[in-house]
Amino acid sequence: MSRYTGIIEAYRNRLPLDLEARAISLGEGRTPLIRLENLPRLESVEADIYVKFEGVNPTGSFKDRGMTVAVTQAVHEGSRAIICASTGNTSAAAAAYAARAGIKAFVLIPEGKIALGKLAQAIVHGATVVQIRGNFDDGMRLVKEVAQTAPVAIVNSINPYRLQGQKTAAFEIVEALGRAPDFHCLPVGNAGNITAHWIGYSECAGLESGACAHFPDSWDFSGFGTQRKRPRMVGYQAAGSAPFLRGGPVHNPETVATAIRIGNPQSWDLAWKVHEESHGWFDELEDAEILATQRLLAEREGVFCEPASASSLAGALRDLKQGKIPAGSTVVCTLTGNGMKDPDVILKNGLTGLVEVDAERGAVERALLERL
């Protein structure tokens, strides 16, 4: 038995980090790839659907994979502080990894539109939380401006080390399935994660990609066999926040899926490259479809993801029904974050399923018998 210690130790030869760089890790990665057993039958779709549940990472989202590498590199370069703009999960991860490293974190969050659990995470880990009267896109612009003069390292996904860490999710999927899936579906906000997965799959296949531009020398083609297949990459956005569907920035993005409430994606060009090279597509979902799928997945498979995450599965199910994804395909959907971060979304319609009775045996038995 050896203790699992996170993605840097697991994939060091595939990451562009100095060998002497001390890994700042919380044991992120190695998340479950869960095969859906009930939903495909219920929804009458014929496919092997897997969900990669990134919600079980240390701070509850895939951002930890990127943050461990970005913070490790920042500390190695001598940074004493990091900064990010965030819809919530980046700030939670930045705060936790900064705490681990013993450096300062500054996080800019949009007023009001952040899930309560994520805000609590940033606070408990001791970050300085700057709430701006604006949205994520305003925050991102301000972070870039401030970092020009202040001695702080940006750890948003424009930091290429973030994508290098996040590509390891694709490695884990190829290892678990023994090959790449036919389709990989993800929610898209800034489009860093869809790009990171494409980089990972390309490295596994030993194929070049224009999306890998930052670290061409970091490639190591050994260890994943000779299989040359890569999946088609499918990105889903919320209809009120869908710049990739509109062909340009959306000025007042709105969606219940706050993690992807982004109107001006930072990895715009890279995402179109992924779209072109993988022969994939982008599509959009209404908030109601996203929430219904979040519920369905929780009720029928026991997996509780946050709203943004459910858009990957909602889109995949719809595309399977419409034949855009052919029957018999192997499909992986990334569930980007944990549903427990955002309980308000579930509880805002009241406590469904809650039964109140007197504290006596007969009353409890009656409550059970009526519902068996």
Ligand X SMILES: *Cc1c(COP(=O)(O)O)cnc(C)c1O
Interaction site with ligand X (CB under 6 A): 61, 63, 89, 157, 187-193, 259-260, 306, 308-309, 336-337
Q: How far apart are the first and last CA of the chain?
A: 44
Output 6 or 187, the one with its CB closest to ligand X. Answer: 187
Output 49 or 191, the one with its CB closest to ligand X. Answer: 191
Smallest distance, ligand X to C-beta of residue 365, A: 41
Output 99 or 158, the one with its CB closest to ligand X. Answer: 158
Instruction: Give Cβ neighbours of residue 9 (< 8 Å, ≥ 6 apart).
Output: 23, 25
Output 224 or 335, the one with its CB closest to ligand X. Answer: 335
Output 84 or 101, the one with its CB closest to ligand X. Answer: 84
**Nearest residue to the partner ligand X, using Cβ:** 337
Q: φ and ψ at 134, to 5 degrees? A: 180, -175
Smallest distance, ligand X to C-beta of residue 82, A: 16
DSSP label at residue 231: P
Smallest distance, ligand X to C-beta of residue 140, A: 11
Smallest distance, ligand X to C-beta of residue 308, A: 4
DSSP codes of every residue in 89-156: HHHHHHHHHHHHHT-EEEEEEESS-S-HHHHHHHHHTTPEEEEESS-HHHHHHHHHHHHTTSS-EE-S
DSSP codes of every residue in 26-79: S------EEEPSSHHHHTT--SEEEEEEGGGSTTSBTHHHHHHHHHHHHHHTT-
Smallest distance, ligand X to C-beta of residue 354, A: 27
Rounded-to-integer distance, Cα 94 and Cα 67, Å: 6
Output 118 or 318, the one with its CB closest to ligand X. Answer: 118
Measured from the Cβ of residue 19, the count of other Cβ atoms closer than 10 Å reads 6
Tell me the angle at which helices 192-205 and 268-278 cross, rounded to the nearest 10 degrees. Answer: 40
Q: φ and ψ at 76, to 5 degrees? A: -60, -35
Smallest distance, ligand X to C-beta of residue 68, A: 15
- How far is residue 90 from each of residues 56, 84, 332, 372, measured CA to CA in Å? 15, 7, 23, 43
Rounded-to-integer distance, Cα 187 and Cα 351, Å: 28
Output 73 or 258, the one with its CB closest to ligand X. Answer: 258
Output 301 or 306, the one with its CB closest to ligand X. Answer: 306
Smallest distance, ligand X to C-beta of residue 303, A: 14
Smallest distance, ligand X to C-beta of residue 3, A: 27
Helix (H) or strand (E) holding 82, with range, is: strand 81-85
